[in-house]
Amino acid sequence: MLVIPAIDIIDGKCVRLFQGNFAKVVEYGLNPVEQAKAFADMGLEHLHLIDLDGAKNGSPKNLNILEQVVKSTPLKVDFGGGLRTISAITDALNAGAWKVNVGSMLSKNTGALINHPLNDKIIAAVDCENFIVKTNGWQNQTTIKVDELLNRLVEIGIYHFVITDITRDGTLTAPAFALYEELRQRFSTITLWASGGVSSYSDVINLKKIKVDGVIVGKAYYENKINLKELLQCLQNE
């Protein structure tokens, strides 16, 4: 199972939100590029880089940071935040993203991506609360159920998903195991990454047991709850 550290950016700084609330921001005073280098030095291979300025405003605002990370590290960077048009997706890929996290566009304009050649570069970023999808930086409530959206996206050729339970995100209260277990059982062939609530090594091990393919670790690292080097060793010993 992959361990994917997260860097969320506001105003060029590493931050974390509490349950997606832009009014509840914790700044860590870290330079995103330097932090990415530190993750690479730990032996990590991936990075989840989210442009929260872009997510809030509707178009990417930190592609320059993506470019710097890609140029200065060997990390495979999946980038998200404000990617709501084919043009924005292409810009992020041209800036060096390994894959792109697309959320709001997928629930509003699925037709634009039916068997699109970019689909293998897209990670469907599905953010939900009580099994119902939210969009636009988690600010807009929809009436779409998570499994309904996944069905729709698999049908058009998208198979890689990051599922975030907003009620768990930034809370260090444990992941939404029941959500991931249900989705894994219903969608056995997709690539499924879990995001939100990870606070301990046991959380990660339990996600591995239900065959989640990757886990995104954010606040647990920044709050010194998880040592990522030790976590990688722990997974290797499983």
3-state helix, strand, coil in the chain (%, to 5): 40, 30, 35
Residue 21 pairs in a beta bridge with 18
127 is catalytic: yes
DSSP string, 91-127: HHHHTT-SEEEE-HHHHH-GGGGTT-TTGGGEEEEEE
Determine which one of 53, 78, 127, 165 is catalytic: 127
Closest CA to 8 of 224, 226, 222, 228: 222
Q: Which helix (H) or strand (E) holds 55?
A: helix 52-57
8 is catalytic: yes
Query: Any idea which residue has 């509490």 for tokens?
Result: 18
The strand pair at 132-135 and 214-217 is best described as: unpaired
Query: Any idea which residue has 């509840």 for tokens?
Result: 24
Catalytic positions = 8, 127
